[in-house]
Every structure is written in C-alpha cells, then in structure tokens.
A and B are shown apart, each in its own frame.
Chain A
Amino acid sequence: MADQATGVIGVSARGYRDIARMWVKAALAYPASFWMMAASQFFLTLLDFVGIWIMFHTIDSLGGFDLTEIAFLYGATAFGIGVADLLGGQVERLGELIRMGRLDGMLLKPLPLLVQVCADQFALRRVARITQALVMLGVASYWVDWTPAKVGLTLVMLVSGSVIFLSIFVVFGCVQFWTVDASEVANAFTYGGNTMTQYPLTVFPKQVVTALTYLVPLAFVNWYPSLYILDRADPYGFPEWLRYASPIAAVALVAVTAVVWRAGVRHYESTGS
C-alpha cells in the first residue's frame, strides 16, 4: 500500500515535470513576451506593496503594525500564493478545459487528472512573483530578532502557506465542475485571501478573523506564525498554540480538497457534445 502510494507520487512528479518542461520550452519560443510578462509579474506584486508604502506616507502604523512588520506579512503571503499559482494556478481554467473537451482527453492519459490540469500551460514567468516575495521577506528580515526556532517556524510557514493556497486554488476551482463559467468565485478566496493577508488581520472585524481561522484557514498562511516570529501578542486573544498550527491547517485543508476534487470528478459527465 505504502509502496503503491510512493509509486503514484513518483509518477505524478515525473509527469508534472515533463509537461511543465514542454510548456517552458514553448513559452521561451517568444522570448520578448516571456520577459515582458515575467517583469510585469515582478512589478505587479511589488506595486501592491508600493501602494501600502504610499499609505504609510499618511500614517505610521496600520492596525497596530508598522511598515517593516507588514512587509514581513506581505512577503510571506506573496510567497505562498506565488508557489501555489506556479504549481496549480491553472486550475482556474478548469471550466475552459471542460468546455473545449480537453478534460476528456486528459482522463484517458495514465497520469492523475489533477496533475495534468495543474501542469497544463505551466507558466515559468510566475517565478518572478516568488522572487519578488523572497526579496521582500529578505528585506523585512532585517528588523526581525532571529532565533533558531523563528527560522524554523518561518520555513514551516512558507511551506504551509504554499500548501494552503494551492488547496484553496483547487477547492474553489472545483466549483467549475458544477458551473463551467464560474471561475471567478475562486478569485475571491485566492487573490482575495492574498490581499487580506497582506495586512495585519487587526484591520478586520473579529468575526472575519474567526472565519479565516476555522473556516477558510488563510490566517495560517502568515498571520499566526508571524505573531510568534515578530514577538507579538495576539490582538484578538486567540489560543497561543495556533501560532505553530499552520501545518495542521494545511494538512486538514488538503484532506478536504481531496474529497471535493473527487466529488467534482465523479460529478463530471463530459460536455456531451
């Protein structure tokens, strides 16, 4: 059983890599477009931060956090969504695959469907956003009082955050199994979640933070671990152990995602034409 599972993962990873490599080659066939898009990805996420920086021309702190702390939160969530978008952002276009009948073709191939959907049109240019996130994190790190435990938790945060965002991409992408052209619903949670977590959650009412903790666990992408890393007390008084709970949230969300994806695939009955 365990052997079988490792086998599937190995095949999936190799399959993903091969498909991705093909798309990278294809993208580099138009180098001007590739570099323009990569550069604009880099600046697009950077400009979001410039926006926050502009806000800080009129204020000294937002929600009780200063600019360097917000830069840390910002870098962490940008990294998470950057990795998730690179690896699985294509789920957004599930409806299109269904409409064009391409999903049927994919079902016939000896590779898990989710792997094929995620690897389809793999866009290397999205590495630009991850680079930007790492630069931001690096700069923000200067103001952090580092200890080994904090370094460890930062790594855990970045991995968990990526997994959480990836799951959210897939879960809400699954909506398209039921209504083909409702892909935009997912944006509210993926990009919306990214926008929310760019700011300290103190900006939002407590009910929102509760929802982001127990319902759609976006608060674990950066907020809870960052409270520990930045030596901050939880302004809303949530339990202390939540700071270390990002991996638990990530694993739980992956389980939910697997169930939803399976339900979606089972519900799928081809376009019929």
Chain B
Amino acid sequence: MIPLYVSVATRAFRRYSTYTAATLSGLFTNCVFGCIICFVYLALWDQRPNAGGYDASDAVTYVWLGQAMLMTVMVWGGGVTNDLAERIRSGDVAIDLYRPVPLIGWYVAQDVGRAGFHLLTRGLGPTIVGALLFDVRFPSGPVAWLGFAVAVVLALLVSFAVRFLVASTSFWLLDASGPNAVAFLMAAFFSGLTVPLVIFPGWSRDVVMALPWASYIQVPADIWLGKREGWDLLAGLGFGVLWAVVLFAACHLVLRRATRKVVVQGG
C-alpha cells in the first residue's frame, strides 16, 4: 500500500513540474506581492514597533513565509481537489471509487506530491528572495526547524481536508464554484494572509486563532519565529492535529453519504 501511495505522490510531483513557465511566473508574482506587503507592514511596524508581539523583522519574515506557504499549503484552495470536483461533476469519480485504494488516500497522496513540488519551488524561492531583499529571520535551532516542518505537514493535511470538503459539495450541487469562492474568501482572511492573526484586536484574535485556518500560516510562522517554544510549540502542533483529525473524520463521513447517493443516482 505504502509503495503505491509513494508512486502516486511521485507522479503528482512530476505532473506539476512539467509547467516551468507557470512555476516561474507564479514565483515572480509571489515575490512582487511579498515586496508590496513588506513595505506596508514596515510602515505599520515603524509606527508601532511591537504590534502583535512582533518586531519589524518578525513582520517581514511573516510576509515571506506567507508567500512561501501560499501554494505549498494551497491556502486559497484548488489543486488536486479541483480535479476531484470536476470528476464528480462529470461522473468520472465512479472510477476513483472503484480503485483498490481508498479515495481519500489516493487524493492525499497526490496532494503531498504536489505540495512537495510547490515547497521546493514556490516555497523555497520566495524565502530566498525575501531573505536577500529584507531583514528576514531564520529558526534559531533544530527544534524550531523540526517543529516548523511538522507544522507545515499538519497545515497541508488541514488544508487538504477543507478543500476535500469543499470539492465534495459537487456531489450535491454539481458545481463547486460557489462553495469554492466562499472557501477562498474564508481562507484568504482567516489564514492571516491579509493581516497577521496576531494583530487582530481583542477577542477576535482568540476566535481566529482557534479556527482551522490558523494552522495554515500563523502557527508555522510562530514556530519559525520562536514565538512558540516548549509546551507552546507542542500546543501549536496539537492544535493542527486536532483539526486534522476532526476534518478528516468529516471527510470520511461526507464521502460515505455521497457514495450512497452516487449509487442511488447510478441506478
């Protein structure tokens, strides 16, 4: 079973690596946005040097981590789950259900391969460019590096589960573009891509920090920056695990219901 998943992931990695021009143009856009947001944040932190417990260097680091995570974690949605939504609409999902591999695992493996490719290109690229242009900080030791790596994997799993749930609305609506748009909206804001979640005021900060999207950028960034250490670091990872478990359970549940519906529809 494991070798199968590995080869599915490898194929997905290769599939995404075919589009060199798309990768380069995406990288370019990530870097432009990174610079724009950095200047805005620098203006903000210039006036309030300790906003959200970050200093200016933390803030610009956060910006580039956000750009790096954007595609790796697929913050906005899409990726292999878009293929799934299309296959549900066209009915090809029946083939996926016949495979001797669980459907969710099949798509997770693909998404891991895709994420691997995006991490090496659209993740590493902006990080390097950001470090060259701005005063970017790096993790202080092996524990922070390791914690960050685990947090990214958890972010990917949570994001996958959310995207899977969005795609599976196609089973009922046939067209997932509405839910896609809503999911995009939620993720763009609650992941901390628009503004770091740490500078949300008062109780709204506690709320957004408890939502699954906080695991996309904010938690990994806090580990990277050394804002979460020791028990705090473990709590951050535990938060990701918790959401991953809950959301994957929801995926299984939805899929079971949907499968029954597909069978009914197919007669």
Contacts and interface: CB of A to CB of B under 8 A. Distances in A.
A37 B185 contact: no
B36 A192 contact: yes
A17 to B, nearest CB: 24
A108 interface: no
**Chain A: interface secondary structure?**
helix
B9 to A, nearest CB: 23
A176 to B, nearest CB: 9
A208 B36 CA distance: 10
B22 A57 contact: no
A149 B28 CA distance: 41
Interface residues of A, number: 44
A112 to B, nearest CB: 27
Interface residues of B, number: 37
A55 B33 contact: no
B257 interface: no
Interface stretch (B43-51, B79-87, B213-221, B234-242): B43-51
B189 A47 contact: yes
Contact of A195 (B19, B36, B52, B173): B36
Given A33-B173, A50-B189, A188-B32, A58 B199 contact: yes
A5 interface: no
B182 interface: yes
Contacts of A35: 178
A47 B185 contact: yes
Interface in B9-67: 19, 21-22, 24-26, 28-29, 32-33, 36-37, 39-40, 42-44, 47-48, 51-52
Contacts of B178: 30, 32-37, 40
Contacts of B51: 58-59
Given A37-B177, A180-B21, A203 B43 contact: yes
A184 B22 CA distance: 7
A187 B42 CA distance: 23
Contacts of B36: 192, 195-196, 204
Contacts of B39: 203-205, 208
Contacts of A110: none
Contacts of B199: 54-55, 57-58
B208 to A, nearest CB: 10
B225 to A, nearest CB: 18
A66 interface: no
Interface in A189-218: 192, 195-196, 199, 202-205, 208
B181 A182 contact: no
B200 interface: yes
B139 interface: no
Contact of A185 (B25, B175, B188): B25
28 contacts: A32-B173, A32-B178, A36-B178, A37-B181, A40-B178, A40-B181, A40-B185, A43-B185, A44-B184, A44-B185, A47-B188, A54-B200, A55-B44, A55-B199, A59-B47, A59-B48, A60-B47, A62-B43, A62-B47, A181-B21, A182-B25, A183-B22, A185-B25, A187-B29, A195-B33, A195-B36, A203-B42, A205-B39
Interface of B: 19, 21-22, 24-26, 28-29, 32-33, 36-37, 39-40, 42-44, 47-48, 51-52, 173, 175, 177-179, 181-182, 184-185, 188-189, 194-195, 199-201
